[in-house]
């Protein structure tokens, strides 16, 4: 049984925005997981923002071990489905820049 879903969002500092400012701005965007948690039965367990060079990355980890999640999204199906691009638009809109999302990692 899978136990977590990891989502990673990336933005690159360009123009007058410094990498440190982008990292701080990305970390400051309020993401409210209550609805996805309610719908899927998942629970946000980690929310971190890091900076490597000019790329800021926000990584979210959801616990997907609940009976609710496992019954709605069984291991034989696509457990990544509810997480694809979950916060891409919200981050891009708040940061006023292009944000990319890795495919969710189910582990």
Residue spans per domain, the chain: 4-106
Q: What is the pTM of this model?
A: 0.95
CATH annotation of 4-106? 3.30.70
Q: CA-to-CA distance for 2 and 106, rounded, in angstroms?
A: 7
Please check whether residue 1 is in contact with residue 106, taking contact to mean a CB–CB distance below 8 angstroms.
Answer: no
Three-state DSSP state, 56: strand
Residues 56-104: pLDDT tens digits? 999 999 999 999 999 999 999 999 999 999 999 999 999 999 999 999 9
């Amino acid at each position: 049984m899978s136990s977590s879903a990891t989502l990673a969002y990336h933005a690159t500092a360009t123009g007058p925005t410094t990498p440190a400012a982008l990292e701080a701005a990305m970390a400051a965007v309020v993401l409210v997981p209550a609805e996805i948690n309610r719908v899927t039965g998942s629970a946000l367990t980690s929310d971190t923002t890091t900076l490597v060079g000019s790329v800021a990355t926000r990584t979210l980890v959801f616990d997907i071990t609940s009976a609710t999640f496992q019954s709605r999204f069984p291991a034989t199906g696509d457990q990544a489905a509810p997480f694809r691009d979950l916060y891409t638009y919200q981050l891009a809109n708040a940061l006023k820049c292009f944000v990319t999302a890795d495919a969710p990692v189910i582990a």
